[in-house]
């Protein structure tokens, strides 16, 4: 036997010995790992998507809170809740009447509507003869396809102001904030 053939024979035996000692994962171990990863992702992905929906509604709720504060300041100055967003929006519009600014021409809101993915809020359930309560509603704009609830409808958020007690009629509005995230 030549030196080259002995050397290649030794290499072959060494490679065979190394391969026989190498240990890998069995099929069962791989299946167990796949099942564990599947279970973890089945739990984590829905929770993540719910957090995304909640963060998108927080945008509208924060903006509605600012509108609600402006509405309360308007009610304190004028005596009734505003019937339109233009009454309390940034600045003092000259076309909306004499009571569109405070007693000294001040603003009711410091910043304009700050939720670009939602429509400008609409006032509803207003009792014009009594300052008892009102509700502001907003809906996600149609172009914001990511702003949908669990059933695929645009997210709608509401903030209710005042109280449920009324002198003249019963309001269907409520006091507080809500969004139809999980409908």
- Per residue in 86-137, pLDDT (tens digit) is 878 755 555 445 555 655 666 777 777 888 888 888 887 665 555 677 888 8
Complete edge-to-edge strand list for the sheet that includes strand 156-162: 122-124, 133-139, 156-162, 176-179
Mean pLDDT of the chain: 77
Contacts of 122 (CB under 8 A, 6+ apart): 85, 136, 137, 138
Binning pLDDT at 50, 70 and 90, where does residue 28 land? very high
Flag whether pLDDT at 164 surpasses 60.
no
What is this structure's pTM? 0.63
More confident residue, 101 or 31: 31
Flag whether pLDDT at 1 surpasses 80.
no
Rounded Cα distance between 105 and 39, Å, is 61
Q: Please report where in the chains the tokens 């509405």 appear, as a residue.
A: 71
Rounded Cα distance between 61 and 138, Å, is 9
* Predicted local distance difference test score (pLDDT) of residue 34: 96
């Amino acid at each position: 036997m030549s030196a080259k053939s002995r050397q290649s024979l030794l290499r072959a035996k060494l490679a065979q010995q190394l391969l026989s000692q190498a240990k890998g994962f069995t099929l069962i171990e791989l299946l167990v790992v796949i099942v564990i990863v599947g279970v973890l992702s089945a739990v984590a992905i829905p929770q993540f998507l719910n957090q995304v929906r909640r963060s998108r509604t927080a945008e509208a709720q924060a903006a509605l809170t600012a509108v609600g504060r402006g509405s309360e300041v308007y009610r304190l100055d004028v005596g009734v809740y505003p019937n339109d967003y233009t009454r309390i929006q940034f600045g003092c519009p000259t076309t909306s009447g004499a009571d569109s600014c405070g007693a000294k021409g001040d603003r009711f809101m410091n910043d304009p509507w700050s939720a670009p993915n939602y429509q400008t809020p609409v006032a509803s359930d207003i009792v014009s003869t009594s300052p008892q309560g009102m509700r502001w509603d907003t809906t996600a704009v149609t172009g914001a396809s990511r702003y949908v609830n669990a059933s695929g409808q645009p997210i709608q958020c509401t903030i209710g102001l005042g109280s449920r007690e009324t002198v003249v009629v019963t309001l269907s509005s409520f006091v507080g904030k809500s969004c139809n995230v999980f409908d």
